Chain A
Amino acid sequence: MKFSYNWLKKISATKKSPLELKDLLINHSFEVEKVIALGENWKKVVVGEILEIKKHPDADRLQLVKVNIGERKKLEVVCGAFNISLGDKVPVAMIGASLPNGMVIKETNIRGVKSQGMLCAPQELGLEGDPSGILILNKNISAGISLAQALGLDDFILEIDILANRGHDALSHVGVAREIAALENRKIDYDWLGLKAPRPKTKKEIVKTAIKDKKLCPRYSMAVLEDVAVAPSPLWLAAVLKNCGLNSVNNVVDVTNYVMLEIGQPLHSFDVEKLYSEKGKIFIEARRATKGEKIKLLNEKVYDLEKEDLIISDRKNPIALAGIMGGWESKVTEKTRTIILEAANFDAISIRSSRLRHNLKTDASDRFEKTLDPNLTEKALARAVEMLVKIAGGKLVQVEDIYPKKVHPWKISLNIDYLEKMLGEKIPIKTAREILNRLEIKTKLAGKVIVADIPTFRLDLQTPEDLVEEIGRVYGYEKITPQPLMAPVKNIRLNENRLFIRAVKNILAGSGFSEVYNYSFYSMRDAGLAYLGNIKHLELENPMNPDQAWLRVSLIPGILKNIRENLKNFQQLRLFETGRVYWKNADVLPEEKEMLVGAIVAGEKFGAQIEADSFYEAKGQVDNLLAKLNLEKWYYDDYEPVSADTFVDLWHQGRSAEIKLEDSGESIGFLGEVNPFVLANFGIRERVALFELNLEKLRKFSEGEREYAPLRKYPEVTRDISMIVSGGTRVNEILSLMQAAGGALLLDVDLFDIFYFEKENKKSMTFHLIFGAPDRTLESREVESLLAKIITVLEKKLGVKVRR
């Protein structure tokens, strides 16, 4: 909310500058977002009275003007505008003034005549108005005062972020002034207790009011004023409202707004003649709307009301959406003579839901939805009537106040030991009580217990902890000395899951992968592009946009987008992401699985070549990762989908595999190239190999024990075998035949070269065989005979041709 420094100063009697106030409030009360100096650009611009107008001797389009700028000082200036006449009050920029439009005023010589300043047009001052003429000010303003003062702009605006739980009292100048005074060890200069329900001298009964829903409307106070002269507001009032961000409408509306800014209670005024009357009497009630009722509000829009909306209504029509905005038909205009002034209290939740339902937010609803003290209504009414009588000349003829369940002050007990236990700082009981007293909270002492009487405008104070906060913040949090916590030494549990994920990330980063973070959602379209559209996704009810409506079931669509974008800058990519995916299940909450996806783009285009660098690199990376994570044994199986909820279509059907554990056959993830159609959908032209692993499963199986294997004592013998095999023969078949034939003495086999003869549908493979025995050095003879055995088996069973 925007606060006027002058207004705060008047009520709080502070001597602090606006910036000092800002610091004071920030440290003890509220965040001050901004301090704006009004009229700062009008230094050396004063009000002048025109004493004499003469023609310029040498120029037809210029005049010589003599102005009185107070204290018997007179200036002669050259002026090019002709809308001025003798006696006018006008803004005069004196020599040295620097105007908002950048102009700096100097003594000049215009066609032989000295000009000692300038009369200003609105634009030159940064104001709106006719640019061709000089700004003519109100005649009552005395010459010589600064223009800022004349226009009510010699003020500073403090934009203060009032905390949500202080809307009760601090969305008002009195509320913030009370804070300031309390912080400066004073009470405010404002007759708060003197504001009591006004009493008409002569009573009439023009209006009869009723509350139909006491829960939604705990109090309805109103006053009727006759013979009101609706007119534009006096300058000071219009200016103060404008400075605080409100438009000036007319004197009646402006007074209601002014009172709201002063004490925080919104008010509304109705034109009595526009309301439906029965036998000369108007019946007003606060009730729930019925379905089908409509109202045109002050913003000239028509709203369909619901039965949850609280409205103010006469016997025929709704006349206001309670606490939010008044009706168009009954608004106060220049023709209005008799008004109803309403100051009511409404239920916060009801106001909030109504304004959300109708998408309306007003200064009134802002306050009501934070819950207001019902005792405020009569104070607001008193203040508004007092001002209206002065400004618009009205006559009070009726006051009604329906207040079925009066709210009384309540008590909170705070033990001084508890105060110290919470703050950690010892505050003398006397100091604590003084602080509360300054906040207009009266206290008594019962032993070590402070019993506090909470004024009803401090609805936020309900518990001893609330009082701890009041005392603590006014005392000053800066006075609290930091102190290490003395706690029993406990052995903390480590978060195994996070440590495991960290290890996985470190291995991958060490193997050349860079880590990406993607959003947890994607669009239905993205899911479709990745052929995941058939999977039941969790959907957001209110996404920011349709691109972010589905919660991800896989990290893959995100990674594919990363690949597409990064291929604009890089030819080869190694990326990974770990994160949660969300699967619907029988529980209220979905299953959140911690997943890992790694991606490799080796720069392979689609085409004739049969090599699969990306795939095999990915497979090697998975092997490396699983080995480093201490998994026992795993293998790659042809992927056979088991239900509709799988990713079968996402993968390249000829180049994908399921990663399984050897002992249990349990699947821990997938490896493969992405289906070329999916890649095309994402606009990727290179082959992409991915692996997707379930991190929780990985962790479960990575907890195997490690055991040392003794180093070999006897030398190993290596032999290479090169062979031509048919294109369909799998490496696994060859390996298992070799292992069976070689027995225990064949320690290891590595495929280290492969070459494809595409036309013949054959491939050449070279294996590296390692022989050895634990107890002796193998003789050449033994090795040769084992090798011969292996070759024979391969030739017989697979028809390979071994090159010799």
Chain B
Amino acid sequence: MLEQEIFNIKTEALKNISHSSSIEDLKFWRVQYLGRKSRLNEILKGLKDFSLEKRQKIGPLANTIKKEIADFWEQKNRELERSIDWEKEKIDITAPGKKVSGGHLHILTQVQNEIEDIFIAMGFEIADGPEVEKEYYNFNALNIPPHHPARDSQDTFWLKSDENKGTDKILLRTHTSAAQVRYMEKNFPPFRIIVPGRIFRREATDATHEHTFHQFEALVVGDDVNMRHFKHLAEEFFSRFFGKKIKIRLRPSYFPFVEPGFEFDISCTVCGGIGCAACKKTGWLEVGGAGMVNQEVFRAAGYLPRQYQGFAWGFGIERLAMMKYKIDDVRLFHSGDLRFIRQF
């Protein structure tokens, strides 16, 4: 019977200790089960009155159980001491985060980086040219002699000439195509390059016109680079840039440094070509001019006639940024206004 009682004490003690939710409760149960006046203690104290046989049976059992209860109590005590008041810990996670004063790359830099990365991944080299350029590289070498009406469409900022420097007229380049012949004078096909950079047109500014903007020239020349390759490259680039399948439409156009020449449109990035406000219901967005490099340009670069062929294209980086981010005023790019810059 006594043995049964000891087992009962253990069951009850472990249950009560494990259900304790505070240090105070726990202390109470220690007095109750392990204290001097506890039942277990009384049993142990009363052992001397039992027979030897009974003593040898009850004694170790009571001691073992007492130790088990004590260990369990210790374990529970440690747990409670280390426990956290989660209620008190609670904060308002809807309150704002601390401001990190990070800077912002200009959106044109971001777009230009993106464009460069796409072309690098497609095996293109990135070339540069001067912003203040000789008339020769900007016009004559590109089959645009003086008095050519094509000069009208590219109103030019000319620089005041220095009397002692001969007759070379200099200007602010009106297109990145000015770098074509410079590059070809020093390199032989096959090659694929892009020339990103700042260009200038003498135009009054408004929401859609700027006198300073940025262009990308692509020039691919080899033995048999043809219009199929152009179409593929253009589709590939724009699909990557806009992150969706883009189709290309070519329309006949005229630029003296290409023949055949064309304007190219991309399927509307908003509606996909069905027709919407962004594309004025045409399904197409105009992006730039392109064409097969005119043999006259190769001749200016010192290549033999019809030894090589290839294509060139040029388009505005601002225009791409405006399309992608729905920016409606081109003047914002050069405004230096942080309220604009910090949006990107």
Given A538-B159, A558-B336, A573-B338, are A488 and B228 also a contact pair (CB < 8 Å)? Answer: no
Contacts of B172 in A (CB 8 A): 520, 540
Q: Cα distance A540–B172 when bound, in Å?
A: 9
**Chain A residues with CB under 8 A of B102:** 509-510, 512
Query: In the assembled complex, how far is the CB of residue B259 from the closest CB belonging to chain A, in whole angstroms?
Result: 4
Residue A590 at the chain B interface, CB threshold 8 Å:
yes
Q: Which residues of A contact B254 (CB under 8 A)?
A: 163-166
CB pair B226–A424 under 8 Å, yes or no, is: yes
The residue in B128, B132, B134, B168 that gathers the most chain A C-beta atoms within 10 A of its C-beta is B132
The contact of A482 among B116, B235, B256, B262, by CB within 8 Å, is B235
Task: Identify which of A510, A516, A540 contacts B160 (C-beta below 8 A).
Answer: A540
Known interface pairs A483-B229, A498-B116. Does A353 touch B109 (Cβ–Cβ under 8 Å)? no
- B-chain residues with CB within 8 Å of residue A164 when the two chains form the complex: 149-150, 153, 254
Which of A36-44, A560-568, A715-723, A759-767 lies at the interface?
A: A560-568
| B157 / chain A contacts, CB cutoff of 8 Å | 540-543
Knowing A492-B120, A495-B127, A540-B159 are in contact, say whether A422-B104 is a contact too (CB < 8 A). no
Do the beta carbons of A544 and B202 come within 8 Å of each other? yes
Residues of B within 8 A of A502 (CB): 113
Using A422-B226, A487-B192, A492-B123 as known contacts, say yes or no to A514 and B104 having CB atoms under 8 A apart: yes
The complex places the Cα of A424 from the Cα of B160 at a distance, in Å, of 46
Say whether A519 contacts B160, CB under 8 Å.
no
CA–CA, A422 and B336, complex, Å: 45
Q: Does A485 contact B (CB under 8 A)?
A: yes
Which residue of chain B has the shortest Cβ distance to A161 in the bound complex?
B253
* B158 in contact with A542 (CB, 8 Å): yes
Known contacts: A488-B190, A538-B159. The answer to whether A465 contacts B170 by CB under 8 A is no
The reply to whether B109 and A515 contact each other, CB–CB distance below 8 Å, is: yes
B192 / chain A contacts, CB cutoff of 8 Å: 485, 487
Q: From A276-284, A373-381, A467-475, give the one contacting chain B.
A: A467-475
Bound Cα distance from A493 to B233, whole angstroms: 20
CB distance from A310 to the nearest CB of B (A): 14
B165 within 8 A of A: yes
Report whether B309 and A421 are in contact in the complex, using a CB–CB cutoff of 8 Å: yes
Is B260 touching A468 in the complex (CB atoms < 8 A)? yes
Query: Could you tell me the distance in whole angstroms from the C-beta of A477 to the nearest C-beta in chain B?
Result: 4
| A138 at the B interface (CB under 8 A) | no
CB nearest neighbor in B for A369:
B149
In contact, B132 and A582 (Cβ under 8 angstroms): yes
Compute how far the CA of A785 lies from the CA of B227 in the bound complex, rounded to whole angstroms. Answer: 82
Q: Does B339 sit within 8 A of A, measured CB to CB?
A: yes
A584 to B105, CA, bound (A): 30
Please name the residue on chain B nearest to A352 by beta carbon. Answer: B147
Distance in Å: Cβ of B286 to nearest Cβ of chain A: 9
Q: Are B131 and A592 in touch, CB under 8 angstroms?
A: yes
A480 at the interface (CB under 8 A from B): yes
> How far is it, in angstroms, between the C-alpha of A466 and the C-alpha of B295 when the chains are bound?
11
**Docked complex: B123-177 residues within 8 A CB-CB of A:** 123-128, 130-134, 147, 149-150, 153, 157-162, 165-166, 168, 170, 172
Q: Chain A residues near B168 (CB, 8 Å)?
A: 588
Q: Given B123, B292, B336, which contacts A516 in the complex, CB threshold below 8 Å? A: B336
- A5 part of interface (Cβ distance < 8 Å): no
Q: Assess the B124–A492 pair: CB atoms within 8 A.
A: yes
A477 to B263, CA, bound (A): 11
Set of chain B residues within 8 Å of A551, measured between Cβ atoms: 132, 159
Distance in angstroms between the alpha carbons of A286 and B3 in the assembled complex: 140
Question: B228 touching A425 by the CB < 8 A rule?
Answer: yes
How far is B228's CA from A466's CA once the two chains are assembled, in angstroms? 18
Residue from A31, A463, A505 in contact with B259 in the complex, judged by beta carbons closer than 8 Å: A463
Q: How far is the CB of B118 from chain A (nearest CB, A)?
A: 14
B204, closest chain A residue (CB)? A544
Given A480-B231, A502-B113, A423–B338 Cβ distance below 8 Å?
A: no
Looking at chain B, what size class is its interface with the partner chain?
Answer: 35 or more
Q: Which residues in chain A, 157-171, are within 8 Å of chain B measured between CB atoms?
A: 163-167
- Does A569 count as interface, using CB distance less than 8 angstroms? yes
Q: Which residue of B lies closest to A516 (CB)?
A: B336
B residues 220-267 near A (Cβ < 8 Å) are: 220, 222, 224-229, 231-233, 235-236, 248-254, 256, 259-263
A370 within 8 A of B: yes
Complex Cα gap A29–B235 (Å): 22
Judge whether B159 and A539 touch: CB under 8 Å: yes
Q: Is the CB of B126 within 8 A of A589?
A: no
Contact pick for A463, options B109, B170, B231, B295, CB 8 Å: B295
Nearest A-chain residue to B234, judged by Cβ:
A482
Q: Nearest chain-B residue to A477 (Cβ)?
A: B250
On chain B, the residues within 8 Å of A487 by CB distance are: 123, 190, 192, 222
A424 close to B227 (CB less than 8 A): yes
Q: Which residues of B contact A492 (CB under 8 A)?
A: 120, 123-125
C-alpha spacing A472/B224, complex, angstroms = 17
Q: How far is the CA of A575 from the CA of B162 in the complex (A)?
A: 36
On whether the beta carbons of A495 and B125 are closer than 8 Å, the reply is yes
- Complex interface: chain B residues within 8 A of A513 (CB): 103
Question: Beyond A487-B192, A551-B132, is A517–B153 a contact (Cβ under 8 Å)?
Answer: no
Contacts of A490 in B (CB 8 A): 123, 190
Find chain A residues with CB under 8 A from B260 CB.
422, 465, 468-469, 472-473
The yes or no answer to B13 lying at the interface (CB within 8 A) is: no
Q: Provide the bound-state CA to CA distance between A477 and B250, in Å.
A: 6
* One of B101, B125, B190, B337 near A566 (C-beta < 8 A): B337
Does B333 reach chain A (CB closer than 8 Å)?
Answer: yes
Assembled-state Cα–Cα distance A425/B130 (Å): 37
Q: Measured between C-beta atoms, what is the minimum distance from B79 to chain A in Å?
A: 37
| A28–B226 CB distance below 8 A | no
A650 CA to B308 CA, complexed, in Å? 53
Contacts of B128 in A (CB 8 A): 495, 497-498
Q: Is B106 an interface residue (CB 8 A)?
A: yes
- Is A235 an interface position by the 8 A CB rule? no
* A570 close to chain B: CB less than 8 A: yes
- Smallest CB–CB gap between A606 and chain B, Å? 23
- A165 to B256: give the CA distance in the assembly, Å: 9
Q: How far is the CB of B219 from chain A (nearest CB, A)?
A: 13
| B104 and A465 contacting across the interface, CB-CB below 8 Å | no
Q: Tell me, yes or no, whether B341 is within 8 Å of chain A by CB.
A: yes
Of B200, B229, B337, the contact of A520 (CB 8 Å cutoff) = B200
- Enumerate chain A residues within 8 angstroms of B190, measured Cβ to Cβ: 487-488, 490
Of the candidates B103, B127, B131, B336, the one whose C-beta lies within 8 Å of that of A512 is B103
Please indicate the chain B residues that have their CB under 8 angstroms from the CB of A468 in the complex. 259-260, 292
Interface 1/0s, chain B 280-323, versus A by CB < 8 A? 00000000000010110000000000100100000000000000
Instruction: Report Cα–Cα, A165/B259, bound state, in Å.
Output: 11
Q: Residue B341 contacts which of A26, A493, A514 (CB distance < 8 angstroms)? A: A514
Interface centre among B153, B259, B309 (most CB of A within 10 A): B259
Residues of B contacting A508 with CB < 8 Å? 103
B198 at interface, CB cutoff 8 A: yes
Give Cα A505–Cα B106 distance, bound, in whole angstroms.
Answer: 10
Chain A residues closer than 8 Å to B131, beta-carbon distance: 520, 580, 582, 592
Interface positions, chain A 495-554, Cβ under 8 Å from B, are 495, 497-498, 502, 505-506, 508-520, 538-544, 548, 551
Q: B224: which A residues are within 8 A, CB to CB?
A: 421
**Residues on A with beta carbons closer than 8 Å to the beta carbon of B20:** none
Q: State which of B211, B212, B228 has its C-beta within 8 Å of the C-beta of A481.
A: B228
Cβ of B124: which chain A residues have Cβ within 8 Å of it? Answer: 492
Q: Closest residue to A563 on the B side, CB-wise?
A: B336
Partner pick for A509 among B105, B108, B130, B232, CB 8 A cutoff: B105
- Shortest CB distance B199–A (Å): 10
Residues on A lying within 8 angstroms of B by beta carbon are: 26-31, 163-167, 348-349, 352-353, 369-370, 418, 421-425, 463, 465-466, 468-469, 472-473, 477-478, 480-485, 487-490, 492-495, 497-498, 502, 505-506, 508-520, 538-544, 548, 551, 558, 561-562, 565-566, 569-570, 573-576, 579-580, 582, 584, 588-590, 592
Contacts A166-B254, A492-B123, A584-B162 aside, 8 further interface pairs with beta carbons under 8 A come to A424-B227, A469-B259, A469-B260, A477-B262, A518-B336, A519-B334, A538-B159, A574-B101
